Amino acid sequence: MTIADTPLGTKEGSLLLDGLDIFTVPASGDDHPLTVYGLKQQTSDGAEPRPDDHVLLLLHGRTWSSVPVYHLLGGPKNAAKGVESRSLMEALNERNVTAYAMDFRGFGGTPKDATGTVEPNRCMEDVESVLRWLAARHKCSTPEKISLMGWSQGALVAQLAAQRRKPMFSRLILYGSIFDPMVRYPREPLYVKNREYVGDVDNTFDAAVEDFTIEGTIPPKAATNFAEAALLSDPIKAQWKHLYQFNNCDPGMVHVPTLVVVGDQDPYAPLHVQQELFANLGRGSDRTWSILSDADHAVHLLEGRSRFVNVVTSFIMNGKRIGKETVF
């Protein structure tokens, strides 16, 4: 299976990939093909990545692929038409941050596995597979130049990766994290005879635009562009399973420099809960809490998205150097 077997392998879906290099990374354990996206090399000589690049891996959230989330209206074809890019990957690249994004199993360009579902611990292990690949691609002997960012539910996956004994990255960005210490996900019953059948559920336009809640922060056309791209990437809702694995998220076990960034009117990440997350991060590492005004859940797609880019790049480039004690 490859990206050709997914919605992004169709003629319409492939249009969203303009300007992107597509990589396939085998997952540890079962070699499942994980699709990773990077911007096409801007140099005509096809130069290889440099070991001193600032590398950032982006994780999407609960519902939508990384392609519409992080590369909306990007690529040279849109630029030639005069379309304003809302690609976070391109914006970061302009600030000398080499951004990659991956799709979890069953999202966008990564095929489903045999289970047909997606679960937190498997996502975390797949993230580590991609981080190993990035370290080899950029010739990083330590995680110093590699950072990890997760958005929304993807921030919980990123946090689980940061709680490992030896994280494979040096900086963590928890963006619009839905972490809540008062939420405990239940386990499934062991002995029920008639398990509920869950068939395919279509994603909808309304679900794609529900993150845009503040009038004047994103034009109607841009919101519609996102919804159309999101539905092309993920026409069917991915089925998450074993969400109780997120109960293992413990901020006190995070010991890498961490940026907590959120819109001040994010309905999924209220500030009083973000305060709990930030205040309980493990001691001994730098941490920053950035609250962006007049913004909700999808700050990076809004009119004021340059502020988000500034915060992220400053954190990545200006933080304390760490990670020399860990060797891949």
**How far is residue 129 from each of residues 28, 124, 132, 227, measured CA to CA in Å?**
6, 9, 5, 30
- 72 vs 232: CA distance, rounded Å: 12
pLDDT band at 44 (very low <50, low <70, confident <90, very high): very low
pTM summary value: 0.94
Which residues lie below 8 Å from residue 161, measured CB to CB, with a gap of 6+? 124, 127, 128, 131, 148, 167, 168, 169
Token pair of 14, please? 């492939």
Ramachandran area for residue 291 (φ above 0: left; ψ -120 to 50: alpha; else beta) = beta
Check residue 182 and give its pLDDT.
96
Token pair of 92, please? 């970061």
Higher pLDDT, 194 or 262: 262
Q: Residue 179: pLDDT above 90?
A: yes
Residue 258 phi, psi (nearest 5): -135, 135
pLDDT band at 199 (very low <50, low <70, confident <90, very high): confident
- In tens, the pLDDT along 123-161 reads 999 999 999 999 999 988 778 899 999 999 999 999 999
Check residue 47 and give its pLDDT.
59
Mean predicted confidence (pLDDT) in 63-80: 97
Q: Residue 61: pLDDT above 50?
A: yes
- Cβ burial 264-298 (10 Å sphere, 16+ → b, else e): ebbebbeeebbeebbeebbeebebbbbebeebbbb
Neighbour tally for 328: CB within 10 Å: 13
Give one DSSP letter per residue of 222-244, joined into a string.
HHHHHHHHHHHH-SB---B--GG
Check residue 320 and give its pLDDT.
63
Amino acid of residue 121: N
How wide is the angle at C-alpha 106 spanned by C-alphas 234 and 86, nearest 5°?
45
Neighbour tally for 48: CB within 10 Å: 11
Token pair of 149, please? 């960012």
H helix or E strand, kind and range, residue 307? helix 305-318
Please, are residues 177 and 144 in contact by the beta-carbon 8 Å criterion? Answer: no
Give one DSSP letter per residue of 146-163, joined into a string.
EEEEEETHHHHHHHHHHT
Average pLDDT taken over every residue of the chain: 93
* Residue with token string 């963006």: 175
- In tens, the pLDDT along 244-260 reads 999 999 999 999 999 99
Domains of the chain: 3-318 (3.40.50.1820)
Check residue 306 and give its pLDDT.
97
